Amino acid sequence: MTKNYEWAGPNANVAEVLNKYCYGSSKPPFALMLNGPWGCGKTWLVKRLFDKKRTDRESDSELNMIYVSLYGMQNAEEITQAIYVAMHPILGGKIGELGKTVFKGLLKSTLKIDLYHLDDNKTDLSVILGMSGETKSKDKIFKKRILVLDDVERAKMPVSDILALVQPLVESHENRVILVANEKEIATDDNEERKRYERTKEKTVYLTLRVQPDIKSTWKDVIESEFKKDLKKSEDKDNFGKFLLENENNFIDFFEKTNVENIRILQLFLSSGKYLFPSFKGKQEDNNNIIFDILCLLYVLLIEKNIHGRTYDDIEKIVGPISKEDVNNDSYSKTRESNYFNLLKVYRMLNESIYYLLEKGILNKEDFEDNLSYFIHNRTTPIWKRISAFIYEKPSDTHYDSLIGKFRSYLEKETAENDKELLHVCDVYFMLKNMKINSFNDIDSATLLEKYTKRYCDSLLSKEIASLTQNDIWNVKDYFWEFHKENISKIKKINDILSCKKKKYLLKKIKDYFEEKIKNNQPFEITNLFLQRRFPTDDNPFLHNIDPDKFLECIDQLPTGSEQNKIFRELYFRFQEAKNKEWQNEKEWFETIIQKLREKADDATTHPFIKRLTELHLKTLEEGPRKPLTD
C-alpha cells in the first residue's frame, strides 16, 4: 500500500496514515497531529496529499478539506471567522450564517464565548444553504469535513483552548481535524499552560505523527515548477535548471549532510541561485566543481543568515582569526566545526557579495565577478590573480613556469589600476620570493618591484582629481585578510608609504581643482567634492587657497537654498577640524567667509528671503547643522 505514497519520500507512512484517518472506515473521535520543526515540510505534505486526492478522486466527498492557518490568531472568534472564509467556495457565499449556526453552541459550551446574538428562527439550514423551502433537510452542514489547522504553535492564544475548540468537532465521529504544529515550541515559557496543553491533548489527539524533512521531494517539486522553461532549452548550455539536474545527487547529498531540517532553505537556494548563475556563463565546462562549490556556499550562507541569524560581520568573525572575546562563543564554534565551514573559508572573497544578495535581493555583479575571477580564470583574468590562486590552475611545471614568466613581464611593463591591485601584486611578489623562485630571489627583481610601485605613484599625478575612484583614494586596511599571512607586515608598510604619497598628491592637486571649478563657475563639482567626501583631506589644509568671494559666488549659483545649506553643513565640520588642528590659514579663511555672510545679511538692499537664507547659512556654519530645509 505504501508504494502509492512514494511521492511523500521518507513520509510515505505518514501520508498513508493521514489518508486512512481522513477517508478510512474507522472514525476515531479524536484529532490527529503532524509534528515537526519549522520548515520541515508539514504543510507541503498535507496540501500535496489533498491535491492528489482531488486529482484522483472517486467522489466529491474527497474535496471537503478546509485549510486554516492559526498564525497570530488571538481568540476563538478569529478562528471561526477564518474557517468561514476558508469554507466560502464550498458554501456559495453563505458564510456568516453558517458560522453562527455551527459554532455558536460549540463556542459557548467549550470556551464560554458568546459570539453572536442569533434569532432562533434563522437557524434553518435550508435557508442558510439557499435550498428550496420544499427541501426540509435538517442534516448538519459541518459534517464529513476535514479541517486542517496549521501553525498551531504560532497562535497568540493558549493551544489548550484551541484543542478545546476542536474536541466537539471530532467527538461526533463525523469530522476529521488535522493539527499541524512544531510541538516543542508550544508554551515554552509557561509551565502551567504546557501542563494544561498536555492534559487537553490526551483527550483530543489520539495520534502524533513526526514529519521528516524531505529534501528529494521538495527538490523535484521546485525544479519541475520553477525550471520548466529552462529544461526545455536543450541547446542552452548555460542553463541553471540543467546544471541542477546534472549535479542533482551531489546537491542532495550535500544538503542532507548539513542536517538542516528547514526545507524552505532549499526553496530560497533555488530562487537565489538564479541571480548567481548568469555569472558562470561560458565557464561550466572546465569549472563544474568550483561552480558546484560556490552554489553550495550560497546554501551555507542561507543557513547562517536565516537559521542562525548571523550578520555578515558575524560570518567574518567566524572565518577570520579567533579573537579573545569570541574564543568561548559556542555558537561560533559550532559553525567552525561544521562540515561546511571550509566553504566559508576557501571562498571567503565571495561571502560578502552573496550575503548582500540574500539581504538586499540584489547582486553586485561587478564585485561578485571580480572576486569570482580568483577561482574561475579566463583570458581577461589578471596574471597576479592567476598566480595568487594557482591551485585553480593546471598543475604542471611548464604551465606554472609560463605564469611566472608572464608575471615578471607584467612587473616590467604594466601599471596597477588602483591601490588594491598594487598591494596584491606586491603580495604575489613576496609569495614567489618566499617560495624561492629563482627569478624572484635576486636584487634585480626587487628593483623591478620598486619601479612598478613608483610607476603607479607617478600615474596618480597624471590623473584628473575628479576622475579618481574610491579604490584610487581609500586605503585597503579592511582587506588585509586577502593577503598571505606571512606578507601582511610588508604589505602594511607599503600601504603606509602609499598613503603618505597620496596626501602629498592631493595637497598638490586639490587647490588647482577648486580654482578651476570656481573660475569656470561649476558649483556642482564643488558640491560633489564636499557631499561625497571622496577625498581624504586630513592634515591637508587647502581651502585658504581659494578666493572667498569667488567661492561664495559659486555657491550662489546652486539651484536651491537647500542645496546651498548642504555645503555649509559640510563646511561646519571642516571648520571644526581646522580649529582643532590649528590650521591657522584655514581658520582665517573661515572667519572671512563668516564675515562676508554677516555683511550680506546686514545689507539693507538684500532681499528679505535672501537675508533669511543667509542667516540660516551663517547659523549652520557657526553652530552646526540643524534639520534639512523644507519648503
CA separation for the pair 501, 494 (Å, rounded): 11
Residue 34 DSSP label: E
Q: What is the Cα gyration radius of the chain?
A: 36
Q: For the chain, list residues with pLDDT below 50.
A: 91-98, 101, 105-139, 469-474, 532, 534, 536, 628-631
Instruction: Kindly state the helix (H) or strand (E) to which residue 196 belongs, with its residue range.
Output: helix 191-204
Give the rounded distance of the alpha carbon of 147 from its chain centre: 36
Residue type, 281: K
Beta sheet of 65-69, edge-to-edge order: 65-69, 146-150, 176-181, 31-35, 205-210
Exposed/middle/buried for residue 243 (C-beta within 10 Å: 0-12, 13-18, 19+): buried
Q: What is the pLDDT of residue 609?
A: 94
Q: What is the pLDDT of residue 441?
A: 77
CA separation for the pair 222, 216 (Å, rounded): 10
CA separation for the pair 312, 301 (Å, rounded): 9
Q: What is the pLDDT of residue 232?
A: 62
Q: What is the pLDDT of residue 273?
A: 92
Domain ranges of the chain: 2-210, 215-376, 407-504, 521-623
Q: How far is CA 90 from CA 61, 159, 168, 184, 359, in A?
A: 12, 28, 22, 34, 41
Closest CA to 432 of 449, 416, 451: 449
Residue 162 · residue 149 · CB < 8 Å: yes
Phi, psi of 113 (to 5 degrees): -115, 120
Q: How far is CA 84 from CA 43, 68, 166, in A?
A: 20, 10, 15
Q: How far is CA 294 from CA 245, 279, 291, in A?
A: 16, 11, 5
Q: Write down the H helix ranges in 209-347.
A: 215-226, 228-232, 240-246, 248-257, 264-276, 284-302, 312-319, 330-336, 341-346
Closest CA to 575 of 592, 599, 557, 558: 592
Residue 482 · residue 385 · CB < 8 Å: no
CA separation for the pair 487, 207 (Å, rounded): 64
CA separation for the pair 182, 303 (Å, rounded): 19
Phi, psi of 360 (to 5 degrees): -105, -15
Residue type, 197: Y
Q: How far is CA 322 from CA 313, 317, 365, 484, in A?
A: 13, 7, 30, 17
Q: What is the pLDDT of residue 116?
A: 36
Exposed/middle/buried for residue 621 (C-beta within 10 Å: 0-12, 13-18, 19+): buried
The angle formed by the CA atoms of residues 153, 156 and 161, to the nearest 5 degrees, is: 75
The angle formed by the CA atoms of residues 287, 292 and 296, to the nearest 5 degrees, is: 150
Q: What is the pLDDT of residue 477?
A: 58
HEC-encoded secondary structure of 127-143: HHCCCCCCCCCCCCCCC
CA separation for the pair 335, 338 (Å, rounded): 5
Closest CA to 319 of 340, 302, 299: 340
Distance in angstroms between the alpha carbons of the first and the last residue of the chain: 75
Cβ neighbors of 149 (< 8 A, separation 6 or more) are: 68, 70, 79, 162, 166, 177, 178, 179, 180
Residue 171 DSSP label: T
Cβ neighbors of 117 (< 8 A, separation 6 or more) are: none
Q: What is the pLDDT of residue 142?
A: 56
The CATH class that applies to domain 2-210 reads: alpha beta
Record the pTM.
Answer: 0.65
Q: What is the pLDDT of residue 120?
A: 41
